[in-house]
Amino acid sequence: MTQQPQAKYRKDYTAPDFTITHIDLDFDLLDSHARVTAKSQVKQMVAGADSMILDGDGLTLKKIEIDGKAWPHYSETTEGLILSQLPKEFELLIETDIDPAGNTSLEGLYKSDGAYCTQCEAEGFRRITYYLDRPDVLAKFTTTITADKSAYPFLLSNGNKVGEGDADNGRHWVKWEDPHAKPSYLFALVAGDFDLLSDRYTTRSGRDVALEIFVDKGNLDRATHAMTSLKNSMKWDEDRFDLEYDLDIYMIVAVDFFNMGAMENKGLNVFNSKYVLANSDTATDTDYLGIEAVIGHEYFHNWTGNRVTCRDWFQLSLKEGLTVFRDQEFSSDLGSRAVNRIGNVRIMRGPQFAEDCGPMAHPIRPEKVIEMNNFYTLTVYEKGSEVIRMMHTLLGETSFQKGMKLYFERHDGTAATCEDFVKAMEDASGVDLVQFRLWYSQSGTPELTVTSTFDETQQTFSLTVKQFTPATADQKEKQALLIPFDVELYAADGRVIELQCNGSPVGNVLHLTQDEQTFIFQNVSEKPVISMLREFSAPVKLNYDYSDEELAFLMVHARNEFARWDAGQMLLAKHIKANVVRIQQGDAFSLPDDVLDAFRGVLLSKELDAALIAEVMTLPSENEIGGWFEVVDVDAIHQVRDAIKHAFADAFNDELSAIYHTLRQERYTIAHDAMGKRSLRNVCLSYLALNENADALVSEHFNQSNNMTDTAAALAAANHAELDCRQSLMDTFSDKWTHDGLVMDKWFMLQGTNPADDALENVKAQMEHAAFSLKNPNRTRSLVGAFCNNNPVHFHSKDGSGYKFLSDILIQLNESNPQVASRLLDPLLKLKRFDEERQRLMREQLERLAALDKLAKDLYEKINKALEA
Ligand code: TRP
Ligand code: ZN
């Protein structure tokens, strides 16, 4: 590092000295470079200010004028441009040259295959022109794009098209005007040749909106699900949140080279093609659901993010937590609420809890940031959504919606803070959220430890709840939070026992506010079974000494599906933990029959949805299990999880086989019921693959499949069970799909998670596959990411080969695409969680990376924290 990257602190926020009210952008897209001319109307905001710093990165400055005259009072720094001796109000013209074709970071203006596109969030606009690249500067944009007409027939930007025409040399131009003032991170430009799927939507108040989805040529038949999802999103936001779209056109462009999922640029979303393209031959049910969720997410940002944006990047969860909450509710209202909740909770308990106890631990509203791109995290997004969800639980839907209304009344058209949001919720509902605000500033995962006593003579049942948040890397001292704790009591016959305290009925949601609290329930005539933290009412860990019988009881009798699933998970957790200890002590694996009986009961249940049964039968991931231990023993965990799978496969062979055969569907549809049945059938297949003579069954499943869900399930089953047919099925698939990177991602992922002993050698070999490229983030994540994150036994190999492999790749990506490198680095950061030898090997690779002479800020921030800890 030549220069130490500087941290920014939330407490240091100051409003800008100058603002920009209008910007008129002109892009001349040439083969050799792009010429960008920005004409801005600048206004002094703080009396006496006469200089300003414009952000800029990698720009070649060509011209600076103020009010039409060359401006000599400036200096260029590595971070931008300092302008001085400025008047109070002026027109600033800046001309810069940039190199989109050489831009491999996929930030700013870059080329994805043959098309130009942009990614400006968080701080990418400064790679396009010198600007006040901060979210609290809101300007009205007009954008003119000129480019070759045959190579780039579509020239797109935000807002409405207000002019177009031909230019010299076979070129043409289009001019766009966005009537809504916006921060620079919401700017977008796309130029290219696409197939276009068009539709229309009429909003509730009668606005006729043109909907346009742009995809690579030949992919038109894969855009219909995205279009349906978009229309569903627009309708849902009207129905549930009373929010309508506010422009006459909504465009989505799908690109193959994209660092994240998608981007909510005003009126012109840019999407990773993974979240647009789907048909039954190429996409799995999970892909279809992912598209619906991400299309919804970006659409919902139009209000929560764009109309009300963030004052500064520390407030990111203001838009992301809230918008994730909204997309989760959208998916739950359209599909299965229980299955969606289970999926979200698995993410919290796995990767989010892991982030909370690692070196990058931060509150949902971070205090200190070096590289903003490092804070698009599970904590800001997923835990951020849980925090919104807790407010929703505490207020109820009606008051929550009143709070949303007040939030928009107060902050529409402005850049707001998390505090503004909580205040609106508080003022609209009258609910006191003073203590609740701690969720925004305190990091880490709280742990609840519960004990109970039943008093037969008093007919009372009491629950004592202790809350404790362990210290995190960023914050030693923790305080008690306001935790909504949803409980229910059951009698032995399954009847619900009404909750009564101090002589009157109380609701299910208890408010925990202290380190320790006791709740005494009256008129309880028998020792009840407690269902706790129902619906995962708060993002916390729960410790309670349940007996197997109680958990098996809840798996059958709990009134809500989520609670039944959760009881199954707790029963598994109990026996997984006990067995890991057994293995470590050299004892044999054992699983009592009562546990098997509980799961057999679920498998044979007539009343549970197939989709839910599939979830109950799906074990927690090795990563989630690792989170339950002080020191992660990857080998023992793998062994135990495997032994449970085999025990299930063995014990339930007949039931699994019967269900497998009855759930066969002739036709493929993506109705939720059909997806649920497929999901259960494929879970059955994954177990059946572990038994004798599974080759024939799995091959037949593969050969008879008429959709990608079943095809991918057969491949996964063959892969994980290491069947003889694995190689031939994998070859057949790759021969068929080599031309299609998105489909091949499923195959690369299986190579990454291959349990075979030579997994790493094989992953290295697949990097030479015709469909693979380290330049493409999706490919890289599928192969390299899957290996490092989801193949713990091999990634954490005691010879250190997995760690070295990852850091070899990071050395390449550090310069070409630091954003992708930084995400890929995460498994190496968690070194403290492993034994000393592994820690030493991981540290060795981190130190090797730290010594790189052009180490990107993104990696610098994380590596330093990991080595410091
Ligand atoms: N705002 C985007 C979203 O939530 C996230 C995003 C897309 C992003 N691309 C990015 C964030 C690049 C940082 C960098 O959906
Ligand atoms: Zn988002």
The helix (H) or strand (E) run that includes residue 173 is strand 171-182
Mean of per-residue pLDDT scores for the chain: 98
Ligand 1 atom with least separation from CA of 372:
13
469 lines ligand 1 (CB under 6 A): no
**φ, ψ of residue 309 in degrees (nearest 5):** -105, -170
Same domain, 178 and 321: no
Dig out the tokens for 279 from the structure. Answer: 């048909």
What confidence score (pLDDT) does residue 1 get? 45
- 725 in any annotated domain: no
Q: What's the rounded Cα separation, in Å, for the pair 273 and 253?
A: 8
CB atoms within 10 A of CB 181: 17
- Cis ω for the linkage preceding 34 (within 30 of 0): no
Q: What's the rounded Cα separation, in Å, for the pair 673 and 163?
A: 48
Pocket test for ligand 1, best of 105, 119, 121, 264 (most atoms within 8 A of CB): 121
Ligand 1, atom 11, lies closest to the CA of 121
What confidence score (pLDDT) does residue 869 get? 77
Pocket test for ligand 1, best of 260, 264, 380 (most atoms within 8 A of CB): 260
Tell me the CA–centroid distance for residue 204 and ligand 1, in Å. 29
259 lines ligand 1 (CB under 6 A): yes
309-310 and 415-416: which strand pairing?
A: parallel
Closest alpha carbon to 536 in 275, 319, 337? 337
What confidence score (pLDDT) does residue 2 get? 53
Tell me the CA–centroid distance for residue 776 and ligand 2, in Å. 21
- 75 in any annotated domain: yes
Tell me the CA–centroid distance for residue 770 and ligand 1, in Å. 29
SS in 3 state form for 683-733? Answer: HHHHHHCCCCCHHHHHHHHHHHCCCHHHHHHHHHHHHHCCCCCHHHHHHHH
376 lines ligand 1 (CB under 6 A): yes
- 768 in any annotated domain: no
Tell me the CA–centroid distance for residue 278 and ligand 2, in Å. 21
Condensed to tens digits (0 to 9), the pLDDT of residues 377-424 reads 999 999 999 999 999 999 999 999 999 999 999 999 999 999 999 999
Tell me the CA–centroid distance for residue 260 and ligand 1, in Å. 6
Same domain, 179 and 320: no
- What's the CATH code of the domain at 65? 2.60.40.1730
Q: What's the rounded Cα separation, in Å, for the pair 41 and 18?
A: 10
Tell me the CA–centroid distance for residue 320 and ligand 2, in Å. 5
* Lookup result for tokens 């009592």: 592
Q: What's the rounded Cα separation, in Å, for the pair 481 and 539?
A: 11
pLDDT band at 4 (very low <50, low <70, confident <90, very high): confident
Query: Which residues are 165's β-sheet partners?
Result: 173
Domain hosting residue 83, numbered range: 1-89+124-184
What confidence score (pLDDT) does residue 605 get? 96
Q: What's the rounded Cα separation, in Å, for the pair 523 and 525?
A: 6
Ligand 1, atom 6, lies closest to the CA of 263
- 59 in any annotated domain: yes
Contact 672, 336 (CB under 8 A): yes
- 502 in any annotated domain: no
Closest ligand by atom to 260 CA: 1
Read off the pTM. 0.99
Tell me the CA–centroid distance for residue 185 and ligand 2, in Å. 12
Q: What's the rounded Cα separation, in Å, for the pair 795 and 426?
A: 47
SS in 3 state form for 92-128? Answer: EEEEEEECHHHCCCCCEEEEECCEEEEECCCCCHHHC
Question: What DSSP character marks residue 498?
Answer: P
Same domain, 30 and 174: yes
Q: What's the rounded Cα separation, in Å, for the pair 497 and 332?
A: 28
Tell me the CA–centroid distance for residue 298 and ligand 2, in Å. 6
Residue range 44-72: mean pLDDT, rounded: 98
Spatial neighbors of 808 by CB under 8 A, at least 6 apart, are none
Q: What's the rounded Cα separation, in Å, for the pair 646 and 721?
A: 10
Spatial neighbors of 282 by CB under 8 A, at least 6 apart, are 222, 708, 740, 742, 743
699 lines ligand 1 (CB under 6 A): no
121 lines ligand 1 (CB under 6 A): yes
Residue range 214-241: mean pLDDT, rounded: 98
Pocket test for ligand 1, best of 119, 184, 295 (most atoms within 8 A of CB): 119
- 792 in any annotated domain: no
Give the angle subtended at the CA of 154 by the CAs of 153 and 156, to the nearest 5°.
155
Closest ligand by atom to 819 CA: 1
Query: Which residues are 155's β-sheet partners?
Result: 191
Condensed to tens digits (0 to 9), the pLDDT of residues 498-538 reads 999 999 999 999 999 999 999 999 999 999 999 999 999 99
- What's the CATH code of the domain at 341? 1.10.390.10
Ligand 1, atom 1, lies closest to the CA of 263
- 377 in any annotated domain: yes
Q: What's the rounded Cα separation, in Å, for the pair 205 and 698?
A: 53
- Final residue of a structural domain among 418, 441, 464: 441
The number of domains in the chain is 2
pLDDT at 3 over 80: no
Question: What DSSP character marks residue 785?
Answer: I
Closest ligand by atom to 325 CA: 2
- Final residue of a structural domain among 162, 184, 206: 184
- Final residue of a structural domain among 163, 184, 205: 184
Dig out the tokens for 359 from the structure. Answer: 């070196």
pLDDT at 739 over 90: yes
Q: What's the rounded Cα separation, in Å, for the pair 406 and 427?
A: 8
pLDDT band at 300 (very low <50, low <70, confident <90, very high): very high
**488 has catalytic annotation:** no
Dig out the tokens for 227 from the structure. Answer: 């279009």
Same domain, 312 and 177: no
Share of the chain above pLDDT 70, in %: 100
Closest ligand by atom to 261 CA: 1
Angle of helix 672-688 relative to helix 285-300, nearest 10 degrees, comes to 130
Closest alpha carbon to 450 in 506, 522, 530, 523? 530
Q: Is 860 helix (H, G, I), strand (E, B) or coil?
A: helix
| Active-site residue (options: 95, 121, 212, 298) | 298
Give the start-end residues of each E strand in 301-428.
Answer: 309-310, 368-369, 415-416
- 595 in any annotated domain: no
382 lines ligand 1 (CB under 6 A): no
Same domain, 178 and 313: no
Longest dimension (CA), the chain: 95
Condensed to tens digits (0 to 9), the pLDDT of residues 801-831 reads 999 999 999 999 999 999 999 999 999 999 9
Same domain, 319 and 176: no
CB atoms within 10 A of CB 471: 13
pLDDT at 478 over 60: yes
CA–CA distances in Å: residue 643 to residues 638, 649, 651, 687? 8, 10, 12, 12
Residue range 613-618: mean pLDDT, rounded: 98
Neighbours of ion ligand 2 (CB under 5 A): 320, 323
| Torsion angle in degrees (nearest 10) through CA of 47, 48, 50, 56 | -50
158 lines ligand 1 (CB under 6 A): no
Pocket test for ligand 1, best of 233, 276, 319, 376 (most atoms within 8 A of CB): 376
**φ, ψ of residue 304 in degrees (nearest 5):** -95, 80
Residue type, position 112, single letter:
S
